[in-house]
Structures are given as structure tokens and as C-alpha cells.
Amino acid sequence: MSTVIQHIETLLVDLPTIRPHKLSMTTMACQTMVIVRMRHSDGIEGLGEGTTIGGLAYGPESPESIKRNIDTYLAPLLVGQPSNNVHQLRARLNRHARGNMIAKSALETALLDAQGKRLGLSVAELLGGVRQDHLPVLWTLASGDTAKDIDEAMLRLEQRRHCDFKLKIGANPVDQDVRHVAAIKEALGDRASVRVDVNQAWDESTAVRGIQVLQDAGIELIEQPIGAREHAGLVRLANRFNVPMLADEAVQDARDGLDLVCGGFSGAFALKIAKSGGIYGVLELAHVAQAAGIGLYGGTLLEGTIGTAASLHAWATLPAMAWGTEMFGPLLLQDDIVVTPLNYTEFGVELPKGAGLGITLDEDKLAHYSRK
């Protein structure tokens, strides 16, 4: 008799951040994660996580909608189904439910975690094997205060925690933002690379002004300066400047990647399991990028340890990523809900060891931070 999915539970977990995290569309002081616990008839439990940024400020899914849609629509499609055919279950979800990529990613992660535990293999091994088990991790400077950001960067360098830094800009007038970034780059000099994420805040003409100053200041990468749907504008910016453009919200899945490549885009793609509907979807996008000579960057929606571990298992199967990763989500949180946190060391993070994701929940912490 085949193993089947018996029960799927979702929990809203609210964890405070170590400091306010300022983006162009919101400022965060707390991160809400949707934790999925998927129980199977053989007694194995798979873990997954669905996380977004700032409620509905970032995208069409909120923590509350992720939980409700899993509970009401997606979980009933999986309960009672055989546990081990992840591809078939992905197809079933996609056939019956549109969108909801973060929710689907959380469920796929739980399926892979359970299958890895069942077979005694890590998720990366399920995907074909590990090519890198220590991944570089940048740190986002997002206090909004120039002096504080410089001090924070210097501390991270001294700790050998991070040597690449990204600044969230776009909430202020362009001249103010680029002065802020240029001052930080000047203070750090050659000790660290500095990139920016505009989070779609500029129109194309503003982007031309801002990027020119940023390029002159030595900034190494410009993430999503204009709106997600403005593919032609992003191509024009990529071709106009020497500093590479990083497509993030503009490239959700392999089809988006193909459209950008065919449109003449050069630069880099930000990979995120959440926006691609899970690990398999994001690896499809990565393979399009590799075929087209597009650089890879391991992105985050500021997931906690479970979601971050899932991404790390995906990135571990790829060649060295040209632009590294930003898998620092757990470091932004004041506490954790797992027994053994991820090991951040030597400017990066270690791939967790063990079957599945290699992550075990701390039941007391989970109960404490779960929304009642």
C-alpha cells in the first residue's frame, strides 16, 4: 500500500526583526511566516514555509491569504494523494489553482522534505546532488541612516559574516538615495562590494539619472530599478549602462526568463523559490539563464530558517552563482523556531546536513510565536 498525505496544518508565526527593515514600499519590524506541517501515513512529517514581505505591500499574496488558500483550496487537492510523486502533485495543484506561487512553494517544500526523510537523502541529493555546500551571503543595509548603515557594514566585515552589501532604495527622492549609497560605497572602498535594490520604485527616466550616478560611484549591480512589467525598459537600461541590471520581480518563472532573453536582456536573474512556485520551478528558470549566459543570484523573500534551507538546497545543485546569494533572512529575526539554526560563517552559510531539509522544529518556540 502506497504512502499517502494524511493531514496538512498551517500556522502563522510572527517573529520580530532585529531592527526596522526599510524598503521602498514598506518598513518591517516583524516577519510573518506561514509554516506548513504535512503529515503522511508512514508517520513522516514534511516541513514547508511560505513567506512574503510586508503583508500585501510586496505582492498579491499575504501571510493570511497563503494560510487561507492552502487550508481551503490547496490542501484538499493533496490530502489522500500518494506522497512520493512530487511532479504529479505539482501538476495537480497547477491544474486546479491559478497563481498562489508562495503557497505552492511551501507545499512543494514540505513534499520534498518528507520524501528526503523517507529515503534518507537531503533535498539537494533528491535534486541530483550537491555542487557547493558553502554559499556566499550578502547583507542588506536597510536602516535608512547613512552612518548606521556604514557602522553595520563595518561590523559585519569584522565578524567575517558578510563582505557584499545591498542597499534598499527608492523610498526617498532619487538624489537623496544615490548620495546615501555613494557615501556608503566611499566609506567601504575596496573592502566590500555594494549593490542596490530599487524595488521597482523609479520610472525609466529617473532610473537613467540615478543609475549613472551609481555607476560612477562604483556600485556593482542594480536590482529591478523599474516596474516588473516594463521588460523593454529593463532591456534598454541593461544595454545603456556598464553596471549590470538584476531582474527580480520582472522574472518569475522560466517563461519570463525566456521572454527577457529573447528581448535582448543581458545581466542577471534573481532566483526565488517563492515567486517560481517552488524549487523545481526556480531551477527551470536557472537553466534558461544558464543557457543564455545570464548570471544567477540567489534571492529571498526574507524567509525564516525553513524557507531559507529550501532555497539553499536548490542553490547547492547549481554551479557557483555569479552574484552570490542573499539568504540572510534568519539573521534579520530576533529568534528562531528551529532546534539548530543555520551556520553562518566565513562570509557565507553552510548547507544544512541530514535527510530532507535537515531542519527540526523547536516545538516550544513554535508554540510561543504562533499567532493565536
Positions marked catalytic: 168, 326
Residue 136 DSSP class: E
Q: What are phi and psi of 365, to 5 degrees?
A: -65, -40
How many other CB atoms are there within 10 angstroms of residue 264's CB atom? 12
The secondary structure of residue 353, as a DSSP letter, is P
The residues facing 36 across adjacent strands are 10, 48
Strand pairing of 193-197 and 222-223? parallel
Q: Under a CB-based contact definition with an 8 Å cutoff, are residues 275 and 314 in contact?
A: no
Contacts of 176 (CB under 8 A, 6+ apart): none
Residues, the chain, total? 372
Distance (Å) of CA 15 to CA 26, 29, 32, 142, 362: 17, 9, 6, 18, 14
